[in-house]
Amino acid sequence: MNVVFEDRFWAPRARLMAEEVIPHQWKALNDQIPGAEPSHAVENFRIAAGEVQGAFHGMVFQDSDVAKWLEAACYSLQYAPNPELERLIDEVVELLGRAQRDDGYLNTYFTIAAPDRRWKDMSFGHELYCAGHLIEAAVAHYEATGKTNFLSIARKYADLIRREIGPNPGQRRIYDGHEEIELALVKLYRAAGDESYLQLAKYFIDERGRQPSFLLDEPTFGGAYKDRWFHLDYHQAHAPVREQRTAEGHAVRAMYLYSAMADLAWLTDDGSLKDALFRLWDNVTQKRMYITGGIGSQEHGERFTIDYDLPNDTAYAETCAAIGLVFWASRMFRLDRDAKYADVMERALYNGVLSGISLDGKRYFYVNPLEVHPPTARFRHDMQHVKTERVPWFGCACCPPNIARLVASLNRYVCTAENGNVYYHLYAGSRSEFEVNGRSVRLAMETDYPWDGRIAVSVECAEPVSFNLFFRWPGWADEADVSVNGEPVDARGALQKGYIRLAGEWRNGDRIELHFPMRVRRMAAHPLVRENAGKVALQRGPLVYCLEEADNGANLADIRLSADPQFRTEFRQDLMGGIVVIRADGYRSDSEAWGNALYGEYSGRLRKTTVTFVPYAYWGNRQPGEMTVWIRQQERG
């Protein structure tokens, strides 16, 4: 299965990754960007390899920045061959090889700074987390280049882990405080074909949450805070994973765990694991997720809180957590082939993930609030995590290379081909090539998604081939007009768990047309979401919209939509590379009548205004200012 974007949304972003972001991040990892927080990540490997003198600098998981960058760079080679980049990748891989200990161990922090702490700080050492990222990068490298040198490094390390950690006598019966190794081992199993890696992943999943937890005995447990927000549930270690019913703790950790659980449940057909996943899925997506697909609403612990607690202006909604939700959602599909997973994947991707990176690819949000009032966010102690503008890099730089590796591999999330079934989860102008029932087929998709819901798919194949084509009926679409070679199809009748199933013998030149009309939808939140009471958010297609001060002036909180707003949409090529803007009628308070009083009798005096919405993912790409996703909605009593 290979998908190449050829549209004006993802293709330029994939190019941006290859041409700008990956080279730019390499500079960041080498401390070559003026004004950006230093990384030292590559230098740590040189020190660990004994090639330069120096001390370890950065987070204990600084290695993972290099690994994620390598993974992203390898993905980019697949659609943007670049011999110079490939040479650079080879150099880095060789450096990793030199930094690897003889026994296979490969972690610069523990090698340089804490050699006596190996496997002793599972709570916050991120040792297996870093190992997981190295493994993911190695698998990507193998897939992109066919070379096995990086894969060998990863296997050597994984073999060490398998020997030293596990449930058997003489082994350490531990797991990592930050999940990641689990899903990486599944990838390694699939790339290397060695089932022991799958077994090791299963051990980690089965072991997590066994009580009493060994984590409690570690001096590092609780991190710097030692409070209840950094307790076992922070690590999803408060109960065996199969018994967990609500999404708890650090949101990125949870997503990586659930992703691995989904892999395992699929590969081992583990019913109790599936049941746990279905419950956790419902809890996250029905009670603990922002409309942007952002998750983890509290800064302290970067974590889930309680059902329906989704504050907009103090939101954490880490970019990496939304990325993790994409990982998890894409894996959930395999468990029961329901379009609801891709609906959430699409929501997170087009909103809470993309908001994490500027249009030029050089600045990032770590935290993705749904409402920002800059003077307040700058002053308030409880909003210090909220940045009012994207920044060039972070001391804790997990998000930038994470978004790079996701966007550079996004072609892998578009569709799934297996057992004579081809599922389209995402829509984008693209060319897909795959084998089905032993035949090679190409599908050319034309669409201006996400700006327009018209999609045309042309079949290219040397000879007729029978297979089922499934197209996701997006959760946001009321209607679907579908035709095959001009003949209307009863889309509703063809619906199978949210996918429109088109069975048949496909011939070269067959043309499928789908139209999911993109109406502007006023979305409300569940009545138990206190923060959004009385408010709506606009969504058009997969894009959640927001108001920015640049278009609407200051004091966005004062603006409300009229009771029956007429929405006017316009594609503005001149704005931020081309976006659909939404306009509607609304009202503001008659502020001038107020004078100086802080409180006064309610007058209800309003004046009309035009409200302008832009996609949330695009906010903060013009001058700094206020932003809000949720806007008050006048209602008829």
Q: Is 224 in the site for a second copy (CB under 8 A)?
A: no
* Nearest-5° Cα angle at 59, 57 to 65: 95
- The answer to whether the beta carbons of residues 551 and 620 sit under 8 Å apart is no
Separation CA 111–CA 131 (nearest Å): 13
- For the bound state, the minimum distance from the C-beta of residue 566 to a second copy, rounded and expressed in Å, comes to 13
DSSP assignments along 341-408, one per residue: HHHHHHHIIIIIIGGGB-TTSS-B-SS--SEE-HHHHHH-GGGTT--SS-BS--SS--HHHHHHHHHH
Interface with a second copy in residues 352-391 (CB under 8 A): 373, 375-376, 379-382
Count of Cβ atoms closer than 10 Å to residue 210 Cβ: 15
* Binding residues for a second copy, total number by CB under 8 A: 63
Residue number with CB closer to a second copy (229 or 616):
229
Separation CA 514–CA 512 (nearest Å): 7
Interface with a second copy in residues 449-478 (CB under 8 A): none
In the list 272, 286, 440, 466, the residue contacting a second copy (rule: CB under 8 A) is 286
Distance in angstroms between the alpha carbons of the first and the last residue of the chain:
54
In the list 74, 237, 277, 291, the residue contacting a second copy (rule: CB under 8 A) is 291
Q: Which residues contact 176 (CB under 8 A, 6 or more apart)?
A: 122, 126, 127, 128, 129, 132, 204
Q: Residue 172: beta bridge partners?
A: 165
- For the bound state, the minimum distance from the C-beta of residue 564 to a second copy, rounded and expressed in Å, comes to 8
DSSP state of 516: -
Q: Which residues contact 86 (CB under 8 A, 6 or more apart)?
A: 77, 145
Q: Is 573 in the site for a second copy (CB under 8 A)?
A: no
Residue number with CB closer to a second copy (429 or 450):
450
Q: Is 487 in the site for a second copy (CB under 8 A)?
A: no
Residue number with CB closer to a second copy (148 or 305):
305
Among 24-32, 187-195, 282-290, 448-456, the segment contacting a second copy (CB under 8 A): 282-290
In the list 300, 492, 572, 607, the residue contacting a second copy (rule: CB under 8 A) is 300
Q: Which residues contact 146 (CB under 8 A, 6 or more apart)?
A: none
Residue number with CB closer to a second copy (156 or 497):
497
Using CB atoms within 10 Å of the CB of residue 54, give its burial: 0 to 12 exposed, 13 to 18 middle, 19+ buried: exposed
Q: Is 246 in the site for a second copy (CB under 8 A)?
A: no
Longest CA–CA span in the chain (Å) reads 78
Q: Is 582 in the site for a second copy (CB under 8 A)?
A: no
- Check 71, 127, 302, 318 and give the catalytic one: 302
Q: Is 558 in the site for a second copy (CB under 8 A)?
A: yes
- Check 130, 320, 398, 399 and give the catalytic one: 398
Residue number with CB closer to a second copy (437 or 555):
555
- For the bound state, the minimum distance from the C-beta of residue 312 to a second copy, rounded and expressed in Å, comes to 11
Separation CA 457–CA 425 (nearest Å): 14
Q: Is 495 in the site for a second copy (CB under 8 A)?
A: no
- Residue 569 has, within 13 A of its CA and on its CB side, a CA count of 16
Residue number with CB closer to a second copy (71 or 531):
531
Residue number with CB closer to a second copy (379 or 571):
379
Active site (annotated) includes residue 302: yes
Contacts of 106-111 with CB under 8 Å at 24 or more apart are 106/63, 106/131, 106/134, 106/153, 106/157, 107/63, 107/131, 108/44, 108/45, 108/47, 108/48, 108/56, 108/62, 108/63, 109/44, 109/56, 109/60, 109/61, 109/62, 109/63, 111/48
Residue number with CB closer to a second copy (35 or 602):
602
In the list 166, 301, 356, 400, the residue contacting a second copy (rule: CB under 8 A) is 301
- For the bound state, the minimum distance from the C-beta of residue 471 to a second copy, rounded and expressed in Å, comes to 22
- For the bound state, the minimum distance from the C-beta of residue 497 to a second copy, rounded and expressed in Å, comes to 17
Interface with a second copy in residues 502-541 (CB under 8 A): 521-530, 533-534, 536-537
- The answer to whether the beta carbons of residues 634 and 587 sit under 8 Å apart is yes
487-489/481-484 β-pairing? antiparallel
Interface with a second copy in residues 598-627 (CB under 8 A): 598-604, 606
Among 146-154, 212-220, 445-453, 591-599, the segment contacting a second copy (CB under 8 A): 591-599
Active site (annotated) includes residue 418: no
Catalytic annotation, residues: 302, 398
Q: Which residues bind a second copy (CB under 8 A)?
A: 229, 282, 285-287, 289, 291, 298-301, 305-306, 309, 314, 373, 375-376, 379-382, 521-530, 533-534, 536-537, 555, 557-558, 560, 562-563, 587-589, 591, 594, 596-604, 606, 632-637
